[in-house]
Structure 1
Amino acid sequence: MSVTSVSDQYLVTLSNYLRQTLDPNTRKQAETELFAAEDKQQEFPIALLQLLTKNDVDPSVRFAASLVFKNYVKRNWVKEEEEQRITPEIRQTIKGSIIDILVVVPSNIQLQLSEAVTTIANIDFPKNWQNLIQQLTNKFDPEDYVRNNGVLQTAHSIFKRWRHEFRSDELYVEINFVLEHFCTPFFQILRNTDMKITGHSQDKQRLQLYLQTMLLLMKLYYDLNCQDIPPFFEDNIDYGMQLMHNYLIYKNPLLETESEDEAGIVEKIKSTICEILTLYTTKYDELFVMLPQFVSTIWTLLTTTGLESKYDLLVSKAMSFLSTVVKLERYHSLFNNETTLTQLCENIVLPNMYLRPVDEELFECDPIEYIRRDLEGSDSDTRRRAASDFVRSMMTHFMADITRIIGAYITQYLARYNENPNNWKDKDAAIYLLTSIATPGTATKHGLTAVNDLVNVIEWFSENILPDLQTPVDSGQPVLKVDAVKYLYTFRNQMNKQQLITVFPLLVKHLNSSNYVVHTYASIAIERILFMRKDNNMVFNRTDIKPFTQELLVSLFRLIEAGSTPETLAENDYLMKAVMRVIFTSREDTGSYVAEIMGHLNKILSIISKNPSNPRFNHYVFESIGALVRFNCSNNPVGLQSFENMLLEPFQSILQQDVVEFIPYVFQIFSQLLELHQEPQLPEIYKSLLPPILLPNFWESSANIPALVRLLHSYIYRDAASIVVSKQIEPILGIFQKLIASKTNNKYGLDLLCSIVQYIPTETLNQYIGAIISLLLRRLQNDRTERFTLGFVNFVCFFIAINQHGGPDYVIQAFDSIQEKLFLEVLNAFIIPELQKIRGYVDRKICSVALIRLLTQSNSILSQKYIEIWTTILAALIKLFEAPTEIDKYNEEEEFYNFDLEEERQFQTSFSKLTTTSKPTNDPTASISEPKVYLAQELQRLSQAHPDGKMITEMIQTLPAECTHHLFQYMALANPIYKPTL
């Protein structure tokens, strides 16, 4: 192994800091020292790796070093950054030694290093780490399976991202590169591991190690086949499938786990095999000749596997395989008789639909986890979800048969419940079965769009669900209450507005339930009903909700504030989301008790600031505040001042305590408030805030940058004169310079520059514009990217379109003052070639208006020096107008009402935009409704006003015929009685 040596004293110091991080009393100071060491010492990551190789160092310190190293790599081994914090030499040293270290350290450290390798590989592999696969495969050892597992775990960590990647040439180049070097050693170790398992069937310790290897090999089997079946695997498909079949039926009493909850290694292997079989069924079924045999085997497995929760993953994956097969037309004959379908329902579906004791325990002891599993799809590995999916899959070709078969059991279960309410589990199963057969499609965030015509879901609701909602809130079985609310939630789109208005009070009433799952489900159903849209309009408006608004908010805040710690208060984001949606729907009607609402939100903020543990909950809190500002402060100076008074203390506390998760939200809401002010000068509260945000510390966090740029825009927009007088323009330009130097943040630098040129007075701008343009051109010359180039084109067009400081000629002169005819070079090299790549309605409109102003309002362009480019600009403009690109106009209200936090959204590690504080894109051309008409009008004005109007006509006549044709159309739009005479 090869790690550049660092001094022993430095290693001792580093070890002491790492040891101190393990003690709560010294952790914070030690972490500060480690960050300082990271900043000061280039060899910091090398020292960490060297510590990992020292067997005489305390194991806990070595593990802490592996965590710090992994996080260091995640922070600093970035794709795009203006300042590479890790030198090329250090990077090469790390890549040259990390695999050597990984295979000899303990398994807990292996896992951390494996993640670090994956981070590096995601950025550097294969282009800048071409020997990675060889480094890995060279470490395989026929006997050392601890080492092998480290290598395989690392390979899986790198390759598993292929599962979710979209097809691309770049991706396939990478996969083919891996296959070329990995397939042969992979199959060698696969065969070897199979023989080891067979040869050591009575050695439990060795078996567990070898089976862990087999599990990793099966995961890699999936990774390597997920995009397309490699020729090597196709050539060996018989061997691979037979081996998987062997392990699907594999049993060994030595490996039976005593726990009823935790899946054993054999179950994990079988589950992964089922995933591979599902993949092959979906993508390569023509090659999958053993499929009928696997169907039979998995059917047997499902009917012989116990109900213990340790088998849940296996059962769900096995049912997922059957669900995939049963939908394929070519295997129709395997299932096409009533006896088979009945057996599938009786032996597989029904046993897995019943609530088990373990489910009841989860309902009672960990209600929030029960809800997440049941509702969000995180229960995709649970039996009920898998059984429901299997029912829906069978209905693809056998809808009438399955509806009849399942319908008979539903009737039977309901009869048993009606005879004896103690049989509540029968009704619970009946409701799940009915929902399964009634919903052949999948639901969107707006609810179900189609149901089974053979099931009358509204009638079934009235007969079997409504009575459970009408009984006293805390009476009866809480599981059935949840079932009733969930049924309403599921089939809300199938009800008309009047039906929903009738049942809405019942949901409001259930917020008073003492049962956590019941009142949470009630809040979920309320939120989704308020989110419903029909014909592009909200179904419920503020008039509909007004009788319930105050009661809803009081109940929801009471439930949220029942949490006694920051963690328990914030755990239930469903309640906070419901608060947000009630405010969204009530709009201005919240005004009569806005102080009361803000009192609750400030109290919640104060508590969760101590430990921000649930990013979704936090986001809904700030969206709620933003919505209250939006609906109660516009054109309302008294309300605006009142809000600022309410928010000042908690927001100052967040900034002073450096609650990093909340600071971007605070800046966004400050921007929103500041933009609502109409006074000539900034209020004192904002004047005092500006100097600190111009200091570097706030800008060090990438999550702060979009919000800070928005806030600076608000300052410049509201009171540019004060910024100039206070000599704050130079610090702002320094921020701009730092932002455009970053490939990650240059967009925000250009956004900030647009605000500067739009609002800073001409006499001040004159002092800096030459340096600004020189800076932009150096960046284009030295480190050009397509994104920055398009941003530059956008900026130049914006600068021209605002029509200030002397109009287009000011912009031309700003460039030409640096170099003769420089603007002509910029037009030819960047603006005209890149114009067609501009996306977004407002951006394209700004660019088109800029070119119109350039063509018709610039003396420089019509001078001898630039006249040669005139028709080229006009042709490019017409081409921009006629580009067959779908351009969606920004709709602020549409974005606001469609806001629905997506599960995959990344919080805390990146900026999270508040929809309620959003503003339309800065459009200096808002007064121009149709740029084509504007072009025609301006050309007509120019030809009439120019001393040589004939020259304008002659230049237009030199356009390509197609451009002339389109130009005549624009002239007709501008003047319907126009007859082309050119």
Structure 2
Amino acid sequence: EEREGEDPFLTTIIMATQEIVAALTQSQSHLPGPRKEAENYLKSAGQNAGYASALINVLLAQGLDLAVQQAAAVAFKNHVKYHWEPKDDNPFNEALIPIAEEEKAQIKTHLITLMLGSSRNVQLQLSEALTIICSTDFPEKWQNLIPELVSKFQSQDQNILNGVLQTAGSIFKRYRNQYKSQELYKELKYVLDNFVGTSEGPKPFLDLFKRTVALVEASQNDVNSLKLAFQNLYTILRIYFSLHSQELPEVFEDTMDEWMGEFHKFLNYENAALESATDEESILTRVKAAICENVNVYIEKNEEEFEKYLQTFATDIWGLLLKVGAQTNKDKLTTTAIRFLTTVAKSVHHKLFEDDNTMKQICEGVVIPNLRMREDEEELFEMNFIEYIRRDMEGSDSDTRRRSACELVKSLTEKFPDKLTALCSQYISVLVQEYSTNPQANWKSKDCAMYLIMALTVRGKTAASGATSTNQLVNIGQFFQEHVVPELQSGKDTLPVLKADCLKFIITFRSQLPKDTCIALFPSIINLLMAESNVVHSYAATCVERMLALKESGKARFQEEELLQFIQTLLTSLFHGMEQPESEENEYLAKCFMRIVSFFGPKIGALTTECMKHGCAKLERICRNPTNSNFNHYMFETVAALIKSSVEGNLNNLSQYEQFLFPVFQIVLVEDLEDFAPYIFQILSQLIEVYTPPLPAVYTQIFPPLLNPVMWERSGNVPALVRLLQAYLQKQQVTGDQLQGVLGVFQKLIASKALDHQGFYILNALVESLPSSALGPYLTNIWSLLCQRLQTSSTPKYTKHFLIFLAMFIDKHGVSVVMNSIDSLQQGLFGMLLQQVLMPNFSAVKGDVESKLCAVALTKILCDCPTILSDTATWGQLLSILVSYIEGVTVNDGDEGSGFDMDAMVGYSAAYAQLHHAQKKEVDPLPNISDVRAYLAQSLSKLSHTHPLATTVSQVLSSESQNTLRSYLSAVNATLN
């Protein structure tokens, strides 16, 4: 049965709606077989025209199971996500059929009404779909959306209003983080004029706000109605925030008194019926937090307009902070309220806090209470160490009370350094004294002191160096010696929170503490790697890892020789930590392991075997039941680092390493563990590159299966497989069926806009490793594929890689071989490619090796190609382009690759999990040519002996380019005839 008034289009769609309903129902099955069958059907159906409309039809139908409705809504959202405006770079790695314009129009006609009449869960999914549509179509292609939403403002049904507001909120939310642009302001003006109203005309949004406020006042004795009114009030406040995120709109500036009056009232509003009896945040608390965020925007961006309200809201929010309790469901309100005070402290109005008594009240009433560890945080420390660390160390605590209180201290310290430093120093002394009277009972006082001194002291910091500038009024050296060192040297399992605090102190101030002091601390830190507390041994590992990674003036702060004395105990303690309960897959310990191996390199010596044995044992275990992608990545990175440091150039370790590694390889490849396969391919590449030809049989046997098309279906496999093919091609020549298989892989990759560069990597490897005669039978087909793609669906990336391949081929096998093979496809095609592809796009090729390849290739075209030599105009253009290119190329300063950021490289899934230590070594394919300027000068000089060039050069080059070329010739004592 279907709803009345259903559009005829929806009843005549191509898709069989009943079949989709059946598939959606079956997709809820607990049995994997039927569920997979249904999912495959829906995936296939998604490539047919009318699928989105069929899903709308399903959602319009009545009497369906709620789970099926939910599944239909999710399917619709996902279909819209990928098919509304399909992208070449998509997770499916295939061309997606776009939804037709007629179908889009029908969807827009029904979506709002459908959404407003749906259950909450379905509504959320449809709202997301609408937001996706709006990201491309709003407002130009959906100009009736805002009028349709505003028309619903008159509804007396609060549920409908809730849906309308939620929809508007999801659309406008994007304005919060967008960069300023004319297009953005044009869109905002459209929204403001049609949704909010104008200064002179109707103001539907303000009217709705007033009616909602009136409903709140009228619903004091009806809790359900009151809660719904507050829910709508909250969404109005969030829309208000979104529409103020860029600048203060005139229509809001003209009505500020009306808005601010109600904001003030609701900040002071109390109603026990609206408070939450659970840990969940109450709607009243959410409303107050939203108001704090709204007024915070004003103090950040519109101080002048807000000035007359500032004292009122500062008093309101200050009073709110003194009343709010420590309950977790008040955290958002507390942090937003503190953020308002922090913003005021940073502004020209900071003198509001100048009074000694005010500052004292802030410290005692806001800062210290919110820095103190609560029971839930203590429980988190003990029961969920990963979440605790993410909040405490990694910055995911940006909305916690502690972080907010710290930011307030920092802001006040910037404005009142002497006064606040003196005041906070007193509190730190009191807190430390409280601790010393009874450490077991009062350890939270010292914990609070540790947070307070770090907030007071750190002025600037970076991830690489920790604190880079500090408050010079604080003697961190004295505090460190008196209160940090003794804590680190006490029993490893006593007062674990303080141990973690002290380790965090060292991590934070690692570049400020004297080098000798840091070295002297290593035994204590290493001892804490064996602490029972997961947080403590994780922080100890992070401390070691950050110290080893620390640089001064671009060089490592610590040298291997300075720390080599600790290597045995360091590794023993680290391995012990990795066996602690819940730390068997601890990513912080794994990252430390990786850094140790990377830092010490070959100097690990005899311990490398133990490291490899331990690493491979871990990998065997996680392969069977992986739970932490970061841990997995660091462990594979460690193995790659061990191979790089102890096998390359030393084959003695290789056979022993293979005994440890091959069982891991077998598990991954036999059991088809797709998340780990890219890692295995990269490590195999490393091992193959160590050998001198011929390769052992165990490696050559792996090669044929790599060419199986199934292996290349997963996009995450492709870069690692290409890397592996490159390693093979470097060590052995492929012929016959194997060469055809490699070319088949190339053909598949070159057709994909996302992966075409990988196809070129394979071609380049073939050109480097094979004689031109081996490639000869296939060249016509290769050029045909490349040129067809160039003509029909080229991209800047494709063109760049095409030019690099062309250059590589010319450099290795000569211009005549390349020109003849291209012209065999179509006479004169080589010249057309020069004119239409090479000359307009040559300057886009960057990179030391790539630039050298292209400069040498163009020199060869100029000097070795009679056809071009006879065409003076083209020859002159090419020479001019080449001289400009050589002068414009940015030469690498040599510093790149001196370090690496592991944090940016972890994780896997569809993305390529590249191993830093297993990267292909950049080999100069033209080692005999050291200077492209000299090569050009010598080549032209040699050519001019048989083909005079001086007159031609003076005619075709600008005076500036002529002078540049003369400098090239002069540098090698050459001339042009």
Letter in structure 2 aligned against 1:88: I
Deviates more, 1:574-583 or 1:502-511: 574-583
Shift of 1:127: 6.8
After superposition, where does 1:20-419 map in structure 2 within 5 Å? 20=29, 23=30, 26-27=31-32, 29-39=34-44, 42=48, 46-71=53-78, 73-74=80-81, 78-80=86-88, 83-89=94-100, 92=104, 97-122=110-135, 142-167=155-180, 175=188, 178-179=191-192, 181-184=194-197, 186-187=205-206, 189-259=208-278, 261-289=279-307, 290-328=309-347, 330-419=348-437
CA–CA distance in structure 2, aligned partners of residues 612 and 926 of structure 1: 44
Q: Does the C-alpha gap of structure 1 residues 661 and 164 become closer, same or farther in structure 2, counting only changes over 3 Å?
A: farther
Q: Residue in 2 aligned with 1:872?
A: 877
CA–CA distance in structure 2, aligned partners of residues 743 and 503 of structure 1: 53
Structure 1 counterpart of 2:828, from 821, 839, 851 = 821
Structure 1 counterpart of 2:446, from 427, 430, 434 = 427
Q: Residue in 1 aligned with 2:847?
A: 840
Contact 1:590 1:628 (8 Å CA) reproduced: no
Shift of 1:917: 1.1
Structure 1 counterpart of 2:812, from 784, 804, 807 = 804
Deviates more, 1:307-316 or 1:167-176: 167-176
| Unaligned stretches of 5+ residues in structure 2 | 1-5, 198-203
Q: Residue in 2 aligned with 1:968?
A: 966
Shift of 1:390: 0.6
Contact 2:389 2:535 (8 Å CA) reproduced: yes
Q: Does the C-alpha gap of structure 1 residues 502 and 145 become closer, same or farther in structure 2, counting only changes over 3 Å?
A: same
CA–CA distance in structure 2, aligned partners of residues 470 and 676 of structure 1: 45
Shift of 1:533: 0.9
Structure 2 counterpart of 1:671, from 682, 685, 691 = 685
CA–CA distance in structure 2, aligned partners of residues 17 and 939 of structure 1: 73
Deviates more, 1:8-17 or 1:250-259: 8-17
CA–CA distance in structure 2, aligned partners of residues 520 and 309 of structure 1: 26
After superposition, where does 1:882-921 map in structure 2 within 5 Å? 882-883=887-888, 888-889=892-893, 893-894=897-898, 897-902=899-904, 907-921=908-922
Contact 1:797 1:846 (8 Å CA) reproduced: yes
Q: Does the C-alpha gap of structure 1 residues 36 and 380 become closer, same or farther in structure 2, counting only changes over 3 Å?
A: same
Q: Does the C-alpha gap of structure 1 residues 505 and 881 become closer, same or farther in structure 2, counting only changes over 3 Å?
A: same
Q: Residue in 1 aligned with 2:608?
A: 594
Deviates more, 1:178-187 or 1:619-628: 178-187
1:501-537 CA-partner distances (Å, limit 9, x unpaired): 1001100001121222222221121111111111222
CA–CA distance in structure 2, aligned partners of residues 125 and 972 of structure 1: 62
Q: Does the C-alpha gap of structure 1 residues 606 and 210 become closer, same or farther in structure 2, counting only changes over 3 Å?
A: farther
Equivalent position SS for 1:701: coil
1:543-567 CA-partner distances (Å, limit 9, x unpaired): 3333333333333333334447xxx
Q: Does the C-alpha gap of structure 1 residues 920 and 598 become closer, same or farther in structure 2, counting only changes over 3 Å?
A: closer
CA–CA distance in structure 1, aligned partners of residues 186 and 857 of structure 2: 42
Indicate yes or no: 2:479 matched with 1:460.
Answer: yes
Q: Residue in 1 aligned with 2:201?
A: none
CA–CA distance in structure 2, aligned partners of residues 321 and 171 of structure 1: 27
Shift of 1:137: 5.4
1:228-282 CA-partner distances (Å, limit 9, x unpaired): 44444445444444443343333322101122x3321222232233333333333
Contact 2:465 2:510 (8 Å CA) reproduced: no
Q: Residue in 1 aligned with 2:569?
A: 551
- TM-score in terms of structure 2 length: 0.90
Q: Does the C-alpha gap of structure 1 residues 324 and 969 become closer, same or farther in structure 2, counting only changes over 3 Å?
A: farther
Equivalent position SS for 2:156: coil
Q: Residue in 1 aligned with 2:713?
A: 700
Structure 1 counterpart of 2:512, from 494, 497, 504 = 494
Q: Residue in 2 aligned with 1:849?
A: 856
Q: Does the C-alpha gap of structure 1 residues 428 and 12 become closer, same or farther in structure 2, counting only changes over 3 Å?
A: closer
Equivalent position SS for 1:454: coil
Q: Residue in 2 aligned with 1:469?
A: 488
| Unaligned stretches of 5+ residues in structure 1 | none
Q: Residue in 2 aligned with 1:536?
A: 554
Shift of 1:156: 3.9
Shift of 1:873: 1.1
Equivalent position SS for 1:441: strand
Equivalent position SS for 1:440: strand
Q: Residue in 2 aligned with 1:650?
A: 664
Equivalent position SS for 1:449: strand
Question: How many percent of aligned residue pairs carry the same amino acid?
Answer: 36
Q: Does the C-alpha gap of structure 1 residues 601 and 816 become closer, same or farther in structure 2, counting only changes over 3 Å?
A: same
Contact 1:190 1:217 (8 Å CA) reproduced: yes
Contact 1:152 1:217 (8 Å CA) reproduced: yes
CA–CA distance in structure 2, aligned partners of residues 792 and 844 of structure 1: 13
CA–CA distance in structure 1, aligned partners of residues 447 and 758 of structure 2: 54
Q: Does the C-alpha gap of structure 1 residues 516 and 886 become closer, same or farther in structure 2, counting only changes over 3 Å?
A: same
Contact 1:115 1:157 (8 Å CA) reproduced: yes
Q: Does the C-alpha gap of structure 1 residues 243 and 838 become closer, same or farther in structure 2, counting only changes over 3 Å?
A: farther
Shift of 1:872: 0.8
Q: Residue in 2 aligned with 1:773?
A: 783
CA–CA distance in structure 1, aligned partners of residues 960 and 540 of structure 2: 61
Q: Does the C-alpha gap of structure 1 residues 936 and 246 become closer, same or farther in structure 2, counting only changes over 3 Å?
A: farther
- TM-score in terms of structure 1 length: 0.90
CA–CA distance in structure 2, aligned partners of residues 427 and 75 of structure 1: 53
Q: Does the C-alpha gap of structure 1 residues 308 and 636 become closer, same or farther in structure 2, counting only changes over 3 Å?
A: same
CA–CA distance in structure 1, aligned partners of residues 75 and 616 of structure 2: 36
1:425-480 CA-partner distances (Å, limit 9, x unpaired): 222222221111111224433211111111121121111111111112123x2222
Letter in structure 2 aligned against 1:964: Q
RMSD: 3.0
Q: Does the C-alpha gap of structure 1 residues 83 and 899 become closer, same or farther in structure 2, counting only changes over 3 Å?
A: closer
Q: How many residues align?
A: 952
Contact 1:892 1:920 (8 Å CA) reproduced: no
Indicate yes or no: 2:716 matched with 1:715.
Answer: no
Q: Residue in 2 aligned with 1:18?
A: 27
Q: Residue in 2 aligned with 1:449?
A: 468
Q: Residue in 1 aligned with 2:936?
A: 935
